[in-house]
Each structure stands twice: as C-alpha cells, then as structure tokens.
Amino acid sequence: MIEYRNLRIALLGAGSVGAQVASLLIEHGTELGERVGAGLELVGIAVRDLKAARTADLPEHLFTTDAESLILGADIVIELIGGIEPARTYLELALNSGADVITANKALLATHGPELFEIAEQVGAQLYYEAAVGGAIPIIRPLRDSLAGDRVRRILGIVNGTTNYILDRMDVEGDTLEEALAEAQRLGYAESDPAADVEGYDAAQKAAILASLAFHTTVPLDSVYREGILAITSEQVAAARRSGFVVKLLAICERLTDPVTGVEGVSARVHPALVPDTHPLAAVHGANNAVFLEAEAAGSLMFYGAGAGGVQTASAVLGDVVSAARRHVIGGPGVAESTRADIPILPISSVSTRYRITLEVADKPGVLARVATLFSEHGVSVEAVRQDARPDGASPTATLVIGTHEATESALAATVAALGATDVVSAVSSVLRVEGL
Ligand code: NDP
Ligand code: HSE
C-alpha cells in the first residue's frame, strides 16, 4: 500500500542504459512503489537531441532538453549521460538542491568522486552508483556494506565487458581485435569513444572506485597503472590457449608491502594478463564481468554476471532507485563514503608478479645459458622453459617460452631490456604477466 507522497524522478540521458531505465520505470513503477511504500513518478527525461532514435518506445511528452529545470523539480535524479561535463555540473546541482543522485558514470566518479561525496555529505543527500562497476552485478553494495567489517586483501576483476568480449571472440572465434570491437559497439557495450575500453581507461576508472571502497581510502585515478589490449595479437591469444592460459584484461587492487622500502600500502593496476584456464575468471565469456575477491575473514568470493548492456545495467540503476526511495520514506541524512583510512598508495614498481616471456633465438650451443644468465643477473628466477626448435634452414632458430617465479616490475623490465639488446635474441615477441596461479 502506498502511504507516502509521490517521489519525482528525473532521468538525464536516454541512450543504451537510460532508455531501458525509463522503459522499466514506466512498466514496473507501480510495483516498485509498492515495495517502497511511495509512488515513483518519472517526471521527465533530459536528452541532447529530441529527434534521436531510441531503443525503447517512450512517451514523447517526457522528453526535454532543459535538464536544469528538470533537476530542480526532482527528489531523485538519475544521471546516464556519461562523461565529465555536463554530468558533473548536473550532479552538483541535483545534490545542492537536496535530491538523491544515482549514476552509472565511472569516469566522473573516478575523477571527481571525492568532491561529489563531500557535497552529498554536507547536504545530507546520498549518491548511489551500483551500475558504475560491473553492470548488473551487485558489487558496490557488498563492498560498502556487507564486507565493511572485514579486511579485503585483494581484488582480481574482469570489469570491462567490451574488452572481455573482444578477447573472448579472438580466442573462441578467431576474430581480429577490430572485428570483435565493431560487434561490441553494435551491441551497445562500448563507451561512446571505444578507446576508453580498449586502452583500459574504463577498467582503470572502475579499479579506482573498487580500490577506494575496498580499502576505505581514496585511490586517485592517476595512481592506477594502466595498459590496454591494443598490443594483444591473435598469435598471443592462440599461444596462451595452447599453453593452458587465457588472456584477460584484469583490474587488480591489492594490499602489499614495497620490497625495497618496506612501506605497507595498496595498489591498483589494469593490464592484460595470462590466467590459467582452470581459474574461475577464465570461464568468464562474452561481455560478462567477474570480481574475484579475497578477504581475511570471508575468504574468497566471486561476483559474476552481465558487465555491460542497456537493460542489464538498468537493473542495477533500478536497485538504486528503490534504495533512494526507501531512504526518502525513512528520512534522515545519507551515509557518507568511508575513505578515511588514508593508506599509502604504492606504484606499479612495488608490485611483484610472475611473467611469461616469449623469445625468438638462434638455435645453437650456449644460447640457453646466455639467456639464463641474463635472468639471473637481474635477480629474476626462472620457473620453467619450453623450447620449440625449427631445425630447418641455414641458421636454425627456436622459440623460447620462459615462465618466471615472482619478480618485481623493475627487475623484469631490466631483464627484458637486456634480452632485447643481446645478439642471441632476435626478438622478444611477448611479455605477459601471469595472475591467478
Ligand atoms: P549513451 O551514449 O548510449 O547515451 C547517452 C545519453 O545521454 C543519450 O541519450 C544522450 O542524448 C544523452 N546526453 C548526452 N549529452 C547530453 C547533454 N549534454 N544533455 C542531456 N543529455 C545528454 O550512453 P550509455 O547509455 O551507454 O551510458 C550511460 C552511462 O552509463 C555512462 O556513464 C556509461 O559509462 C555508463 N554505463 C554504460 C553501460 C553500457 O553497457 N552501455 C554499462 C554500465 C555503465 P541523445 O540521445 O539525445 O544524444
Ligand atoms: N563500456 C563498458 C564496458 C560499459 O564495456 O564494460 C560498462 O561499464
């Protein structure tokens, strides 16, 4: 039974996600209102172009290009425009007018989250962002609430649906990166500028958000190490598969101790990595996402599901709508973000991990010994070596695949530079980190 007044909901943006949110709100608004005990009324949808085609059939009278007037008359504002401006200005306006705000905008949260959370705290409003990481997967609320009493040690996540879709198509269908990206764009997974996906910016933004939540400390976006997937070749993906690995773009957030300074801190990084084909993350296909998390008391947890897509992401947004509406009915101020731990943020050079390096070498006596010496001179311990020899031809060659024990980024970089400079190595054809062993 509805006992509270109607809550006025303003929607900013009606693209892949916004159109589905509007459609579901219109279709299920009454039922959602009954869950909350308040009427939920979508009062308007602000867009850039009133004539643009929509992926859902929505009432024309709701559309406007006057976002500011819409915001000022709302109890709850949902921002699904994306990008920094005007989204940031609109969110500040909404919060300052006392509205609760819901956003899926990881780019904005990763760069201006602390300012927005501060405004929300000052005015007693709440900023919800379940859809900003992992699409439909509930991961923000579990980190903020369910695991708030535990100590998260490490997060290993596939948090970008587009790149997972691309790497999976390269692996399973043999597509090129370009073919798979075009399909991901057609399916609505990619950002408006897909460089955000393939160059790892989107995953880095999500890593900053996850790390800040998990470690109760603000992890700035520019402290997140980032490599995208543009340098990954079909040959690397196929060779990984033959050796019992899959290539995934991972976001890794962890507590660690710098091996040189002994400083204890946290780090966040995004890069392609080899994952054993038996690891749960290897079974994450298509545009799905998964967040594999290790906490001191809870142990290992995995959150899995659709990481991108309009209607899937709309589910997470609607969950936030229900939470915001419940808060209105109950009353009282919003809950502030927990970022007061102030833990040092460590750079990528503090990280140690395993590597798999592929070299093209001359197949003659002494080469293996020379290569092994270079590893040992830089303090990198070799775990396994595989050689595929090509004995035919005047100058026989071989491919050497070398797996290392854990080594620091700096030791590995120095080893790779030395390998590239020695005359017995004709090419360093692949250097990939190995995670999840
Ligand atoms: P789209 O590009 O599909 O849609 C953006 C919408 O915003 C369009 O309706 C556009 O209007 C509107 N818009 C753009 N500029 C303005 C403006 N200045 N004033 C008013 N409206 C404006 O984006 P998505 O729906 O894909 O993404 C929305 C947000 O959700 C982004 O932050 C994205 O990162 C995030 N997200 C997206 C996911 C996905 O799978 N797509 C998954 C998880 C999060 P018009 O249509 O008139 O051009
Ligand atoms: N472009 C993003 C992705 C959308 O592919 O994961 C979901 O955040």
Q: How far is CA 61 from CA 42, 43, 58, 65, 400, in A?
A: 11, 10, 9, 12, 66
Residue 235 φ then ψ, to 5°: -65, -40
pLDDT at 394: 67
Identify the weakest region by mean pLDDT among 177-181, 188-192, 266-270, 272-276. 188-192
What's the rounded Cα separation, in Å, for the pair 6 and 367?
77
Q: Which of 109, 140, 202 to mutate to test the pocket of ligand 2 (most atoms within 8 A of CB)?
A: 202
Nearest atom in ligand 2 to the alpha carbon of residue 191 is 1
Which ligand gives the minimal distance to the CA of 206?
2
What's the rounded Cα separation, in Å, for the pair 251 and 107?
15
pLDDT of 1 > 80? The answer is no
Q: What is the pLDDT of residues 23-34, one digit of tens each?
A: 999 999 999 999
> From ligand 1's centre to the CA of 268, what distance in Å?
27
Query: Is 399 close to ligand 2, i.e. is its CB under 6 Å away?
Result: no
Residues with CB under 6 A from ligand 1: 12-18, 46-49, 52, 67, 80-82, 86, 104-106, 131, 135, 188-189, 191-192, 308-310, 313
pLDDT at 2: 62
pLDDT at 98: 94
pLDDT of 35 > 70? The answer is yes
Q: Whose CA is nearest to atom 23 of ligand 1?
A: 15
In the CATH scheme, what is the code of domain 140-305? 3.30.360.10
pLDDT of 335 > 90? The answer is no
> From ligand 1's centre to the CA of 395, what distance in Å?
57
> From ligand 1's centre to the CA of 249, what distance in Å?
24
Q: What is the pLDDT of residues 357-408, one digit of tens each?
A: 999 998 888 999 999 999 999 999 999 999 988 777 767 889 999 999 999 9
Q: Whose CA is nearest to atom 7 of ligand 2?
A: 308
Collapsing DSSP states into helix, strand and coil, what is residue 217? strand
User: What is this structure's pTM?
Assistant: 0.95
CA 286 to centroid of chain Cα atoms: 15
Please, what's the b/e burial string for 134-149 (b: 16 or more CB within 10 A of its CB; e: otherwise)?
Answer: bbbbebbbbbbeebee
Query: Is 200 close to ligand 2, i.e. is its CB under 6 Å away?
Result: no
CATH topology identical between 140-305 and 351-434: no
Instruction: Please name which of 312, 311, 320 lies closest in space to residue 40, comparing C-alpha atoms.
Output: 320
Burial of 54 (0-12, 13-18, 19+ CB in 10 A): middle
pLDDT at 374: 96
Q: What is the mean pLDDT of the chain?
A: 95
In this structure, what token pair is assigned to residue 45?
Answer: 């949808």
Q: Which stretch of DSSP H or E encloses residue 49?
A: none
In this structure, what token pair is assigned to residue 195?
Answer: 């460089």
> From ligand 2's centre to the CA of 16, what distance in Å?
11
In this structure, what token pair is assigned to residue 61?
Answer: 């009278």
Residue 404 φ then ψ, to 5°: -110, 160
Query: Is 110 close to ligand 2, i.e. is its CB under 6 Å away?
Result: no
Beta bridge partners of 300: 294
Q: What is the pLDDT of residues 411-432, one digit of tens each?
A: 999 999 999 999 999 999 999 9
Burial of 387 (0-12, 13-18, 19+ CB in 10 A): middle
Q: What is the pLDDT of residues 98-108, one digit of tens each?
A: 999 999 999 99
**152-158 and 245-257 beta bridge pairing:** antiparallel
pLDDT of 338 > 90? The answer is no
Q: How far is CA 156 from CA 11, 367, 412, in A?
A: 33, 37, 21
In terms of phi and psi (left: phi > 0; alpha: psi -120 to 50; beta: otherwise), the region of 366 is left
pLDDT of 80 > 70? The answer is yes
Is the domain spanning 351-434 CATH 3.30.70.260? The answer is yes
> From ligand 2's centre to the CA of 400, what distance in Å?
36
Q: How far is CA 347 from CA 81, 174, 254, 257, 343, in A?
A: 32, 35, 12, 11, 13
Q: Give the CA-trace dihedral at 368, 373, 375, 381, to 10 degrees.
A: 90
What does the chain come to in residues? Answer: 437
Average pLDDT over residues 166-194: 94
- The DSSP letter of residue 135 is T
What does R_g of the chain's alpha carbons equal in angstroms? 24
What's the rounded Cα separation, in Å, for the pair 103 and 221?
18
- Indicate the domain borders of the chain: 4-135+311-330, 140-305, 351-434
> Side by side, which strands form the sheet with 127-128?
63-64, 38-46, 4-12, 76-79, 100-103, 127-128
Q: Give the CA-trace dihedral at 93, 97, 103, 108, to 10 degrees.
A: 30
Query: Is 265 close to ligand 2, i.e. is its CB under 6 Å away?
Result: no
In this structure, what token pair is assigned to residue 200?
Answer: 């790892």
Q: Is 51 a residue of the active site?
A: no
Query: Is 191 close to ligand 2, i.e. is its CB under 6 Å away?
Result: yes
Structural contact between residues 104 and 17, judged by C-beta atoms closer than 8 angstroms = yes
Query: Is 161 close to ligand 2, i.e. is its CB under 6 Å away?
Result: yes
CATH class of 4-135+311-330: alpha beta
What's the rounded Cα separation, in Å, for the pair 416 and 26?
58
Average pLDDT over residues 168-179: 95
What's the rounded Cα separation, in Å, for the pair 290 and 309?
15
Share of the chain above pLDDT 90, in %: 91
Q: Which of 12, 23, 45, 48 to mutate to test the pocket of ligand 1 (most atoms within 8 A of CB)?
A: 48
pLDDT of 325 > 90? The answer is yes
Q: Whose CA is nearest to atom 4 of ligand 2?
A: 308
Residue 247 φ then ψ, to 5°: -95, 125
- The DSSP letter of residue 192 is S
In this structure, what token pair is assigned to residue 300?
Answer: 């290992």
